[in-house]
């Protein structure tokens, strides 16, 4: 599995570089590149692992990978990126992209209530990602074109070389994903835990490493639109495209475990919803908000591990989260949102500035 992770990261890096340069050639903005090209590229490990798991008869691992990756993306990766440098948020994210992320997350829950993602569900999800991508490109072309720092003042690489990088990245992702799935299944069998748990934790973090690397590099270079857009776009792609394609290629749809419907998918929705007021306050994600997200991810991981091992501390930990931590977080987000709305109205500022 470790070898698979290394190959996945290398393939994701190669794919991102080639895809970003190709997109820059057509004059897309940094936000649109983050929401589409880079997001879809960095989600390629999730696509490879999820489809591979479905074809190998491991649907719990497939669903856990997508749900866990989305939780990792918002809480861990955005949180870590904001700790490095506060992230600015454009109005397009507040008006369109984050609501779409919340919407597709809720759609996944509704489609999973019958315990399966059917062929029709797969067609619906794939249609959603096609429409969303088209709308994002149309809206985002009004922004300034994106120029990669690494290519400024340098000779442009030929298109054939960029295409070769994309194809090479995809090939590495396929090989890495196969090794990762085999290793993860072996771990699940060896420790006696379900594929859902392994998918929510180890595999989710592993397949999210390209998003982590891309977001941190983007923040370090000052391209904060790219960092936030990468995460939001990846989450939309993971649900609509990855699970949509998985449902299309599966013989009889993708079974969804009751535990995922009862807890994990709702937690994924909660993480997506939490991003909206956090990004809305001051049109930025501050360092303390990033620390809050990282702390919530640590709590989620601790709960998954305690539940999987049936540890004696599970009852006390669950009670503390339900009756203290989560209500405190919810109250904080509501107060921040109300304060920001009041401040903007007092200053006669639009609630979602351009």
State the average pLDDT over residues 252-258: 88
Asked if 102 and 232 touch (Cβ cutoff 8 Å), the reply is no
pLDDT digit string, tens, across residues 147-173: 555 444 456 777 788 778 878 877 887
In the predicted model, is pLDDT for residue 309 greater than 70? yes
In the predicted model, is pLDDT for residue 213 greater than 60? yes
State the average pLDDT over residues 247-273: 88
Count Cβ atoms below 10 Å from residue 192 Cβ, excluding itself: 8
pLDDT computed for residue 152 by the predictor: 46
State the average pLDDT over residues 193-221: 76
In the predicted model, is pLDDT for residue 37 greater than 80? no
As a whole number of angstroms, the distance between CA 242 and CA 248 comes to: 10
As a whole number of angstroms, the distance between CA 225 and CA 94 comes to: 13
Asked if 111 and 257 touch (Cβ cutoff 8 Å), the reply is no
What angle separates helix 287-309 from helix 265-280, to the nearest 10 degrees? 170
pLDDT digit string, tens, across residues 315-349: 887 787 777 777 777 777 677 667 666 666 666 65
Handedness of CA 138, 139, 144, 148 (dihedral sign): negative
pLDDT computed for residue 353 by the predictor: 46
pLDDT digit string, tens, across residues 108-126: 999 999 999 999 999 999 9
pLDDT computed for residue 155 by the predictor: 60
Tokens representing 242 are 């990855």
In the predicted model, is pLDDT for residue 66 greater than 80? yes
In the predicted model, is pLDDT for residue 23 greater than 50? yes
CA angle (307, 312, 317) in 5-degree steps: 65
Banded pLDDT at 26 (limits 50, 70, 90): low
Q: Report percent pLDDT > 90 for the chain.
A: 16
pLDDT computed for residue 34 by the predictor: 66
pLDDT computed for residue 169 by the predictor: 79
Q: Report percent pLDDT > 70 for the chain.
A: 82
């Amino acid at each position: 599995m470790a070898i698979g992770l290394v190959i996945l990261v290398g393939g994701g890096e190669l794919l991102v570089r080639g895809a970003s340069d190709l997109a820059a050639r057509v004059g897309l903005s940094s936000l649109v590149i983050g929401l589409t090209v880079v997001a879809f590229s960095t989600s390629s490990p999730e696509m490879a692992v999820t489809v591979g798991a479905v074809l190998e008869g491991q649907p719990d691992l497939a669903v856990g990978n997508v749900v866990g990756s989305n939780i990792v993306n918002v809480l861990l990766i955005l949180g870590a990126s904001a700790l490095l440098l506060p992230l600015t948020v454009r109005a397009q994210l507040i008006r369109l992209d984050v609501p779409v992320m919340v919407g597709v997350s809720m759609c996944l829950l509704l489609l999973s209530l019958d315990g399966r993602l059917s062929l029709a569900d797969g067609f619906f999800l794939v249609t959603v990602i096609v429409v969303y991508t088209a709308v994002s490109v149309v809206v985002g072309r009004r922004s300034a074109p994106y120029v990669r720092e690494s290519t400024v003042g340098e000779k442009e690489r030929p298109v054939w070389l960029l295409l070769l990088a994309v194809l090479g990245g995809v090939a590495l992702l396929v090989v890495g994903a196969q090794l990762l799935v085999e290793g993860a299944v072996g771990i699940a069998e060896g420790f006696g835990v379900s594929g859902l748990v392994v998918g929510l934790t180890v595999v989710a973090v592993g397949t999210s490493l390209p998003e982590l690397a891309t977001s941190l590099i983007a923040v370090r270079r000052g391209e904060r639109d790219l960092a936030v857009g990468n995460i939001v776009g990846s989450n939309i792609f993971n649900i609509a495209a990855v699970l949509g394609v998985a449902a299309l290629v599966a013989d009889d749809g993708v079974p969804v475990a009751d535990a995922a419907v009862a807890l994990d998918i709702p937690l994924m929705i909660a993480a997506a919803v939490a991003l909206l007021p956090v990004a809305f306050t001051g049109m930025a994600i501050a360092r303390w908000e990033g620390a809050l997200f990282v702390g919530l991810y640590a709590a989620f991981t601790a709960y998954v591990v305690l539940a999987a091992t049936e540890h004696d501390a599970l009852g006390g930990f669950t009670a503390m989260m339900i009756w203290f931590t989560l209500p405190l977080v919810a109250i904080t987000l509501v107060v921040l949102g109300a304060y920001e709305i009041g401040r903007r109205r007092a200053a006669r500022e639009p609630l979602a500035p351009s």
